[in-house]
């Protein structure tokens, strides 16, 4: 069943936190919607590459208006539920939220690129290790750093702070510790509240909040939901494979991964040799 929403209802639903959509994705979507018969599958594929658009879409479909029993994390499912007219209205609403400067686009490219790469790698890893909801793993990969563009809006020097945070990360200090010390907040906390505002499933929100708290997460004996720990393991493997420490942190070495590698691989039942083979096969496929 398709639920149609008016432009006014969409504008009301989208009030609050927003992450700017990637300009090239918006151009591709605008081109698709002027076709005589817009293809929903193509539209869904384009939207699923962008955290801001995907977040806006899931916020609407998981809103009380739809009365869904369980919150969903699948972009394709959300597009199918909303239907072509509502999705096009959503795209148009996002396109008028303001233009980005060239400097902002260059900086945010680091965020957009890693979001897509990590999401695709999470999806592949989830399928390889037999996780039951690969779409959820993809969504976590897409959204895990959604606090970064909002931090950048608030703190112009944020990327410099983030690079220092990655440099300092390791067994004694988390990425978010440096952010907390210098800015009194961090992108994981901001990302958690952003994900909550988008009505994402709560276990995904919790994974976003804790994605730089993985060491204590896996050191705990029990106490954590197995689904959440598996998602966290998939995400941390994907971040390492996609070299987020280089793209976002401008660091040659992945200090965070070095401190959690053994715990994560033990949890998912992979040896270092197995993981290296998996990493190389994913890179050869061009996923990351």
User: Do 59 and 141 share a domain, yes or no?
Assistant: no
Q: Mean per-residue pLDDT for 219-233?
A: 82
- Give the Å distances, CA to CA, from 176 to 150, 154, 215: 15, 16, 13
How far is Cα 48 from Cα 185, in angstroms, rounded to an integer? 28
pLDDT at 153: 85
User: Do 119 and 225 share a domain, yes or no?
Assistant: yes
User: Do 84 and 137 share a domain, yes or no?
Assistant: no
Higher-pLDDT residue of 276 and 11 is 276
pLDDT over threshold 70, residue 185: yes
- What is the CATH classification number for the domain harbouring 204? 1.10.3210.10
Residue 154 domain flag: yes
Nearest to 244 by CA among 171, 175, 149: 175
Quick: pLDDT tens for 252-269: 999 999 999 999 999 999
pLDDT at 17: 59
pLDDT over threshold 80, residue 70: yes
Look up residue 169 and give its two tokens.
């990360």
Residue 287: phi, psi to the nearest 5? -70, -45
Quick: pLDDT tens for 142-156: 999 999 998 988 898
pLDDT at 15: 59
Residue 40: domain span: 7-95
User: Do 196 and 273 share a domain, yes or no?
Assistant: yes
How far is Cα 58 from Cα 82, in angstroms, rounded to an integer? 10
- Give the Å distances, CA to CA, from 23 to 17, 26, 90, 108: 18, 5, 15, 11
Number of folded domains in the chain?
2
């Amino acid at each position: 069943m398709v639920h149609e929403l008016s432009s006014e209802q969409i504008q009301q639903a989208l009030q609050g936190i927003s992450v700017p959509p990637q300009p090239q994705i918006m151009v591709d979507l605008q081109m698709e919607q002027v076709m005589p018969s817009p293809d929903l599958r193509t539209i869904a594929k384009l939207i699923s590459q962008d955290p801001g658009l995907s977040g806006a879409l899931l916020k609407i479909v998981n809103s009380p208006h739809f009365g869904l029993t369980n919150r969903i994390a699948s972009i394709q499912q959300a597009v199918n539920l909303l239907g072509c007219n509502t999705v096009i209205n959503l795209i148009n609403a996002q396109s008028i939220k303001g233009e980005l400067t060239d400097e902002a686009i260059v900086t945010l490219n680091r965020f957009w690129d890693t979001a897509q790469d990590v999401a695709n790698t999470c999806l592949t890893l989830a399928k390889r290790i037999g996780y039951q909801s690969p779409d959820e793993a993809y969504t976590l990969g897409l959204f895990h750093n959604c606090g970064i563009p909002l931090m950048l809006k608030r703190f112009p020097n944020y990327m410099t702070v983030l690079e220092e945070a990655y440099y300092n990360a390791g067994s004694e200090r988390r990425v978010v510790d440096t952010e907390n010390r210098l800015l009194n907040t961090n992108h994981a906390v901001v990302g958690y509240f952003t994900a909550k505002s988008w009505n994402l499933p709560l276990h995904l929100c919790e994974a976003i909040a804790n994605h730089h708290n993985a060491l204590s997460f896996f050191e705990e004996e029990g106490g954590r939901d197995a689904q959440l720990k598996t998602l966290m393991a998939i995400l941390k493997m994907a971040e390492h494979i996609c070299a987020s420490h280089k793209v976002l942190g401008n660091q040659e070495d992945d200090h965070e991964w070095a401190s959690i590698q053994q715990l994560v691989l033990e949890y998912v039942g992979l040896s270092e040799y197995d993981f290296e083979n998996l990493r190389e096969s994913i890179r050869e496929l061009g996923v990351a």
